[in-house]
Amino acid sequence: MKDLREHTRELLEKGEIAAVIGYRQVSEMRTKPVIVTDPADAEHLVFNEYCLNNLAVYLTKARIKALCRTKDKTLKLAITAKPCDVHSIVALIQENQIHRKDIHIISFNCHGVVKDFGCEFNGDNLASKCITCETHKPLYFDKIFGEEKETPKASDQALARIQELESMTHKERFEFFKGEFDRCIKCYACRAVCPLCYCQRCITDKAIPRWIESSSHQRGNFSWNIVRAFHLSARCTGCGECERACPADIPLTLLNRRMAIEAKRSFSYVSGRSLETPTLVGSFNEKDSDELFM
Amino acid sequence: MDKQKWEPKIVAFVCNWCTYTGADLAGTSRMKYPANTKMIRVMCSGSIDPVFILKAFERGADGVLISGCHPNDCHYNAGNFHARRRWDFFHELLDFIGIEKGRLQFSWISASEGKKFADVISKVTKDIKALGPFTDYQKMNSEFTAFFPEETAEDHEVLNKVEEIV
């Protein structure tokens, strides 16, 4: 923690970076995102198992980008990111939303985070993304802190749920999702926290013609949740922020994870893992499978 | 609803350069195929947004057909390649959410394949007939109608007008 604070203070004092997007402890088992521009404030920065937010969502915000612009040059932006958040940053760079040279990534050797604030860190309260996580060490970083520790063991319930759903009939699955989507209140929190939902104007906000009905009745909820899952398919890095932010507890990870499985199975692609490869849906291969088409 | 009399409603989104011209050929060659399909011409199979399909289901379509140029035959060079990847995901997603894969079908039909067009339309119509009416989405519509009568009345007015024009 001391290293992290010293490192960021130094960078801020030297004027190499405009701001640090980081975490601040607000109570024993809760942190919140904070944007530090003053070197004296660097002492508030923390990193622990309660750093749940995916801070990559701030990188595409116009107000944050404006912080970096000075009269004669563009300053870097520092971000403290868990290894899984680095996947989101990589995806943003792949999609040309940010440049690698503009970002200073401060990452950590991560051994998992809790599923929600206020939970004690152990195998029962591990966030579902951490159970199957394979990147305890970030793939890309400029500075790394923390020691390598072992992740607590837990069972992969999300995958079991997907397999269970896939063994059902179409009608049963439809009824299941109808029940889940029925609770949706169209608050768009899932959209707000997603680092990859960066469209300046979302399709749901377009009123003429209104493609996705805005009132939260079953029909509109279906369209919204299908479109959200589709727009993120093969792009979602699986940070799970949408499900955590959802006030209605809709299992959005099921959809995202199912699409990630499809990307891996059909195209051997995992989103946000390499800066060198183009995104899956942004590119094509003439040799792609043609079996879908008559 | 009388099962004997029920005829499926199918919406086909077809590309201007190949499939639509292929359909034209089927017509001028006086080929026979079922009349259940309503065609909507778009510029490229790559320009079909999945919300078009959701909208079709919302408005009571029992099935949707998407058709474009053969790979390497696209008027815009790469439109159908991009579409192919996207449709793979959308198809899987709909299947996972509980909409049978047969409700959404895809084909490549070139401008000279009038016969193939007639065959594909016959096959899709047969498949959708076997699957039966798509009541899941339609039931949702009627629940919606009970809840928001005014909004739906307006929807129906617009729909009727569109049908008159068509």
Residue B129 shares a structural domain with residue B148: no
- The per-residue pLDDT for A290 is 85
Q: Is the pLDDT of residue A214 over 80?
A: yes
Are A223 and B54 within 8 A, CB to CB?
A: yes
Minimum distance, in Å, between the CA of residue A203 and any CA atom of chain B: 9
Residue B73 shares a structural domain with residue B39: yes
Minimal Cβ distance to A171: which of B58, B95, B98: B98
Q: Is the pLDDT of residue B158 over 80?
A: no
Report yes or no: B129 and B8 within 8 Å, Cβ to Cβ.
yes
Give the dihedral sign, CA B56/B61/B65/B68: negative
Report yes or no: B2 and B132 within 8 Å, Cβ to Cβ.
no
Interface check A96 vs B, CB under 8 A? no
- The per-residue pLDDT for A241 is 92
- The per-residue pLDDT for A191 is 93
In this prediction, residue A69 has a pLDDT band, given cuts at 50, 70 and 90, of confident
pLDDT (mean) for A264-277: 92
Q: Give the pLDDT confidence of A160-179 residue by residue, as tens digits.
A: 999 999 999 999 999 999 99
The number of angstroms, rounded, from the C-alpha of B35 to the middle of its chain's C-alpha atoms is: 13
- The per-residue pLDDT for B148 is 55
Rg (CA), chain A: 20
- The per-residue pLDDT for A211 is 87
In a domain, residue B57? The reply is yes
Q: Give the pLDDT confidence of A106-139 residue by residue, as tens digits.
A: 999 988 899 888 888 887 888 888 888 888 899 9
Please count the structural domains in chain B: 2
Residue B90 shares a structural domain with residue B152: no
Residue B118 shares a structural domain with residue B36: yes
Residue B27 shares a structural domain with residue B50: yes
**Quick one: angle between helices B79-97 and A170-181, nearest 10?**
90
Find the domain containing B166 and state its range: 134-166
Report yes or no: B164 and B37 within 8 Å, Cβ to Cβ.
no
What is the Cα–Cα distance from A201 to A228, expressed in whole angstroms? 14
What is the Cα–Cα distance from B36 to A188, expressed in whole angstroms? 38
What is the Cα–Cα distance from A48 to A103, expressed in whole angstroms? 22
- The per-residue pLDDT for B21 is 94
Rg (CA), chain B: 16
**Predicted TM-score of the model (pTM):** 0.88
Residue B99 shares a structural domain with residue B150: no
What is the Cα–Cα distance from B123 to B117, expressed in whole angstroms? 10
Are A284 and B81 within 8 A, CB to CB?
A: yes
Q: Is the pLDDT of residue A204 over 80?
A: yes
Mean of pLDDT over chain A: 90
Q: Give the pLDDT confidence of A139-159 residue by residue, as tens digits.
A: 999 999 888 888 888 888 889
